[in-house]
Every structure is written in structure tokens, then in C-alpha cells.
Chain A
């Protein structure tokens, strides 16, 4: 790889190690939900930088627009209203790929190199290798990847891997007017989050905390939540996300085992033939039938 920032940690459908020699700093994006004002500048910056524009949808009575993630909307603001201690709270979460350390999409993908995890932690889809099977959707614990109706390829937030590769922050981070989206090394982001959480706790949010779920090995997009004990309040953010056990069975040890078993059946058949010999029609029965034919002939 030309750029160290693009060194690959793991690659989909590849059974040998990718580049492991250079130690690259892990990066992370930190989304502080408590300082987000829901202006959607990040959505706009995302579509500007990545040259994507989701179809103009319809107003469904709430602020959510686009209503859902899409092949052309890699991040969307989700607005939730909740009643906490008798007060209305408007919880606005910027949704998109979490860039898991243990990515279910990459684990599920059957196409070599269609999903890449860089050593810096970014999980990136390389659409030129995507075959459109949708296995990444099946594997994702956050319901993020979307298959395009135009080209049947999977798309999602790239964490602006192209910008990060040359030392810039993602477009959403650059544009956020309140500083609710921060970007840096994962270590630094945890320290920054610590300060934010302490502040929230002082202000009475005793359950404030960092969302960096262990079940997927931690994520490279993290949230500061006022109610870290109840992530589901934030438009269904999963409390304990992990790669589904079904996906682990499907893509885990069973496949090499099944492959070996099939090779065993094939080789077993071959050696059965070689050791036991073919099952021929016996000469005795053939002679018997010929004799019967001759007797019938003679009786005519």
C-alpha cells in the first residue's frame, strides 16, 4: 500500500493475513448527542463530499428526512421524543455505520476484498468487488448497509476514508457547527468523551456515558449519551449489539469443516472404488439368462 493510512487489517473472504507489520493509530469519530442540535449539516456535508443525493422524500410528520439510511444517504438524523422526570427530552442521534472492530458485514461477505477494514479501524466497502448478494446486511448488527437499486451494490458511510487517508477529518465532522462531532485517535476521543460525561453528570444526568459496545469489539464511531443505561431511547440504538450467533455459525468453523467433509466423501468414493472394485453384473447371472433364452428358442 502506498499510504500507511490505507494499510489493511482484514479483508472479506480472505483466509490469509493482510498487512500486519506497521502499527497504525486507531481513529474514532465521537458523536456527542447532548450537544447535537439536529441541524442536519452533517447529512448535507456527507452528500456534498461523497456526491450522493437521496431522493427527496415526503414529510412524514417528524423531522426525519430522509426517513431512513439509503445507498445515497449514508447518515441520517433520527429524532426521538421521550419523557424523562416529567420533562420532554428530544434525543437526536446521527445514525450511520459504527465501524465495528469486529464487523459482522465483513465476516459475512463472500467476495474477496469487497469489504476492507483498515488498520486505523475504518470499515470500507469497495463497490468494484461487491457482487450485490446482501450478506453484509445479514451480518450487520446495526442495520446499516443498503443495496442500491441502480447497481445492486452495497453502500454505507466510509468514515470519509479518502479524507482520513490524507490527514483530514470526515466531512460531517468538519461541518458540525456545535462541535457535537469530534474526530481523532480513539484514545483521545475517549478522553474527550470523559470530560463531556463528567459535565453531563454534574448537570444531573447521572447515567451519562460512552457508547462503545464491547459485543462488537468496540466501535470507531462512538456516542456520548445522556442515558447510556438505555441506548434504545435513541431511536432503537441496540443496548448490547453483537454479531448474531446465527451469522457466527453460518460463517464460522462450520464452513471449513463442511468443506473437509465433502472432500472426505469424494476421496472416500474414489478409494472405495480402488480398494473394493466395481460392482459388476455376475457372469453367472448373465449365463443363466442366456441359457433361458436358448431354451425358449428351442421350445418354439
Chain B
């Protein structure tokens, strides 16, 4: 039963499935990757059937995530072009974080912060994929200097990416009424009007 037929459609089923493919593979990658990142996280390998299985599975999950991310990237990149309103939003981001979003500039489907997140994740994803291939010994044997560089870049980009995703997930939890857009695709009109007024006007014609 739909609570309100006038709710706005933010994501279609295919976009949601795409997002969850990226999300699930990211979580599994982060858990198995952290295990090799620092000894404190090594016990996480038990979630994957032991350390050897974690080592075997991790890069294949990476391939799934890279492909699924590429699709998401191509789907949404035109919606993530930076505009002057985004820059203004970013300049006032501190107010937003303080919980005072009254005089934030009007935003389209995505605000400046979301767009920065989008491009930062895209850069990380590219670095992770290239460096990951460099250190995937089961299939490749690159020059040792490249492998060493790959190891450093992979670890550094992974740390940044995990941090970014924490912020991404937290923002969705913090802004009430957001998570449902990723579960079943809709948001309330009030949510849209408050957080993405430009997009609200565009889809409602008001």
C-alpha cells in the first residue's frame, strides 16, 4: 500500500538495484580490505570463510563494484555538474552541518555537497581499480615498482573512500526521509521542497 500517491519518484528500480550492487560490494570490500590493512582488523577475514578466501574473493568483488560503479557514474554524471548555486551552497555548508538549513541556496536534484561526494568517489574508484589491478597477483605480474606504488595508492585511496562513504551513509541517516529513496525510490513532497527545492519545482511544476 502506498501511503501517499503524490510522493515523488526519485529513483527507479534499476537505479536502486544498481546502487545496492555498489553498496553491498563496497561493504564486503571494505570489511575484507581492512583485514589486510591493519592487523587489528584481521579477524574480519572470518566473515569470508577465513583469510585465504578473503584474499581470493576481495579482487573479484572489486571487479563487480568497479563495473556497477561505472554504470552509476554514467547514469548520474550529467546531474552532478557543478553550478554557481552549488558553490554558494558549499560556502554555507557549515550552517547546514550546524543544523540550520533555512537560508541555504535553492538546490536541484543534488546539492553541492552531494556533487563533491560524487566526484570524490569517482576519483577514488578509479584509483582503487587501477591500483587494485596492479597488485592482483593471481592474474597479473607487473613491474615491482608499479606494484609497490599500487599497494600505497590502494591503501590510501581505500582509507579516503571508507571515510567518504561513512559521511555519505551518515548524511542519509541524518537527513530524515532520505533513506527511503534508496529502499523504494520515493520521497515526500515536503522533503523535496525542503532539501531540493529546484528539483521539487521541476518535477511538480510549482
B40 neighbours in A (Cβ, 8 Å) = 15, 259
- B65 sits at the interface (CB 8 A): no
Asked whether A138 lies within 8 Å of B39 as measured between CB atoms, the reply is no
Mark A281-300 against chain B: 1 for CB-CB distance below 8 A, else 0. Answer: 11001101100110000000
Asked whether B190 lies within 8 Å of A244 as measured between CB atoms, the reply is no
Asked whether A280 lies within 8 Å of B51 as measured between CB atoms, the reply is no
- Give the contact stretch, choosing among B66-74, B82-90, B148-156: B148-156
Residues from 148 to 206 in B contacting A, C-beta threshold 8 Å: 148-149, 151-152, 155-156, 159, 162-163, 166-167, 170, 173-177, 188-191, 193-194, 206
Asked whether B166 lies within 8 Å of A265 as measured between CB atoms, the reply is yes
* Chain B min CB distance to A288 (Å): 8
Q: How long is the Cα–Cα vector from A266 to B162 in the complex, in angstroms? A: 10
Given A110-B36, A246-B148 in contact, is the A254-B190 Cβ separation under 8 Å? no
Specify which of A14, A131, A138, A292 is in contact with B51 (CB 8 Å cutoff). Answer: A131
User: For chain B, what secondary structure do more than half of its interface residues adopt (helix, strand, loop), or is it mixed?
Assistant: helix
Q: How long is the Cα–Cα vector from A15 to B39 in the complex, in angstroms? A: 7
Specify which of B97, B145, B155 is in contact with A250 (CB 8 Å cutoff). Answer: B155
- A235 sits at the interface (CB 8 A): no
Asked whether B148 lies within 8 Å of A138 as measured between CB atoms, the reply is yes
- A133 sits at the interface (CB 8 A): yes
User: For chain A, what secondary structure do more than half of its interface residues adopt (helix, strand, loop), or is it mixed?
Assistant: helix
Asked whether B39 lies within 8 Å of A112 as measured between CB atoms, the reply is yes
Asked whether A135 lies within 8 Å of B151 as measured between CB atoms, the reply is yes
- B1 sits at the interface (CB 8 A): no
Asked whether B137 lies within 8 Å of A143 as measured between CB atoms, the reply is no
Asked whether A262 lies within 8 Å of B135 as measured between CB atoms, the reply is no
Given A152-B138, A262-B159 in contact, is the A13-B39 Cβ separation under 8 Å? yes
- Give the contact stretch, choosing among A66-74, A91-99, A195-203, A268-276: A268-276
Specify which of A255, A273, A277, A280 is in contact with B37 (CB 8 Å cutoff). Answer: A255
Asked whether A279 lies within 8 Å of B176 as measured between CB atoms, the reply is yes
10 contacting pairs across A/B (C-beta < 8 A): A131-B54, A250-B148, A250-B151, A259-B37, A262-B159, A262-B166, A272-B170, A277-B99, A279-B175, A281-B190
Given contacts A132-B56, A272-B97, 8 further A-B contacts (CB under 8 A): A15-B40, A131-B54, A134-B137, A137-B144, A246-B145, A276-B99, A279-B175, A279-B176
